[in-house]
Amino acid sequence: MLIADSQTARELAAKSHEARRRNKALREQADNESQPEPQLPAQSYVDTRLIRVRAQIDMLSDMLESEQDPQKIDRLANAITRLSGLEREYANRPLPGTLKPSSKPSQSRPRTIEPTAIPQPAPATPLPVDGSNGAHGMNGASGANG
């Protein structure tokens, strides 16, 4: 157990002040030193694979151009097809025909509704009032039925 007297307190305070001065000097020295160049963030796995697949496609395409053997041409073409599928997936492109059309209206053709005239019904022609058109009428008010 440490007995705290004035002498021990002075010694511990001196050590504390010395440590603080030393740490401050080290921080200042670190700040004064040239800052390292900020490193680019590490490429993700997909980005790295995409670069490699594209390089392999280019290499196989060069080999395909100079090849004469039909069997080797077929194998190279199949390899390029498989790598192209991987490249499409890594590049995050959909298969042809799988992308749904956008619900947003196209910018080339504005969608405005033109006002149109509402067709009005033709005026009804009044029925003749003379007695030739059914004097007995529909309501049966006159005649023998009533």
Read off the tokens for 64.
Answer: 């395909």
Q: What is the pLDDT of residue 98?
A: 83
pLDDT digits (tens, 9 = 90+) for 51-73: 999 999 999 999 999 999 999 99
Q: What is the pLDDT of residue 62?
A: 94
Taking the CA of residue 89 as centre, how many other CA atoms within 13 Å lie in the half-sphere pointing to its CB? 9
Is 11:17 a contact under the CB 8 Å cutoff?
no
Model confidence at 134, in pLDDT bands (50, 70, 90)?
low
pLDDT digits (tens, 9 = 90+) for 8-20: 888 888 888 898 9
Q: What is the pLDDT of residue 9?
A: 84
Taking 70 as the threshold, does the pLDDT of residue 133 lie above it? no
Taking 60 as the threshold, does the pLDDT of residue 136 lie above it? no
pLDDT digits (tens, 9 = 90+) for 72-99: 999 999 999 999 999 998 888 888 888 7
In the block, tokens 């151009």 appear at 65
CB neighbours of 8 closer than 8 A, spacing ≥ 6?
2
Q: What is the pLDDT of residue 56?
A: 95
Taking 80 as the threshold, does the pLDDT of residue 32 lie above it? no
Our CA angle for 103, 108, 110, nearest 5°, is 70
Average pLDDT estimate for 34-42: 57
